[in-house]
């Protein structure tokens, strides 16, 4: 039985604005990010959403709350939906990462599917966590429509899998925008991509595609 999964990347965050690697740091949305989240809620209000899950990090929970209020549904926080644990990279400006971790950070930028964050997760281990976590949610609600607010790299992982590519080829899949809407179908352990990086609801509030996280 097919489950519809609507994945929303969190809105524009403080770390997006200040240009440092966030990973598992608990960062809030900017005022722009909060407005983006409100626009997501307006766009999604007529979808037959029955359950809402979110990464337990604040920027994802902040994105889920306007949708939760509008649909009168609780948000279920789930740590398996978190962004990659980036270890020593977290909180470091992108320009500084290039100096401190030249080889490993270059792999992240150029061939992310083979990357391993110094002191953190590898892309492979992270991808396994995301696929397992999202699959568990889908298996819990067969035939339903489920909203998930999460982060850029988890959505990139699912797009890679839905395109029938190995995680090692994730660099072939573009990033998605802040507060973008991405729709998947899940059936018997398999993901299919229906719509990717929908941003029409944002108008002039769209923020650029991330080069990093």
Residue with tokens 């018997």: 188
Residue with tokens 């626009």: 39
Residue with tokens 């966030």: 22
Distance in angstroms (rounded) separating the CA atoms of residues 203 and 188: 36
Active-site annotation, residues: 10, 83
Of 177, 150, 31, nearest to 84 by C-alpha is: 150
Strand partners, 8: 149, 181
* Tokens at 207, concatenated: 């923020």
Q: Is the dihedral of CA 197, 200, 202, 207 positive or negative?
A: positive
3-state secondary structure of 207: coil
Distance in angstroms (rounded) separating the CA atoms of residues 41 and 76: 17
Is the separation of the CB atoms in 105 and 98 below 8 Å?
yes
């Amino acid at each position: 039985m097919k489950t519809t999964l609507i994945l929303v990347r969190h809105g524009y965050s403080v770390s997006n604005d200040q240009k440092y690697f966030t990973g598992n740091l608990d960062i809030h949305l900017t005022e722009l990010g909060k407005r983006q989240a409100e626009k997501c809620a307006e766009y999604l209000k007529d979808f037959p959403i029955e359950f809402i899950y979110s990464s337990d990090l604040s920027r994802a929970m902040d994105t889920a709350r306007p949708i939760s209020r509008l649909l009168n549904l609780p948000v279920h926080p789930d740590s398996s939906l978190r962004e990659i644990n980036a270890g020593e990279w977290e909180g470091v400006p992108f320009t500084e990462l290039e100096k401190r971790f030249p080889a490993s950070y270059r792999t992240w930028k150029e061939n992310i599917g083979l990357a391993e964050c110094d002191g953190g997760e590898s892309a492979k281990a992270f991808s396994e966590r995301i696929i397992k976590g999202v699959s568990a949610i889908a298996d819990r609600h067969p035939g339903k429509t489920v909203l998930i607010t999460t982060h850029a790299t988890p959505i990139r992982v699912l797009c890679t899998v839905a395109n029938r590519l190995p995680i090692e080829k994730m660099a072939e899949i573009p990033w998605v925008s802040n507060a973008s809407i991405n729709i998947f179908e899940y059936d018997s352990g398999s993901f299919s991509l229906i719509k990717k990086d929908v941003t029409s609801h944002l108008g002039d509030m769209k923020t650029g595609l991330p080069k990093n996280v």
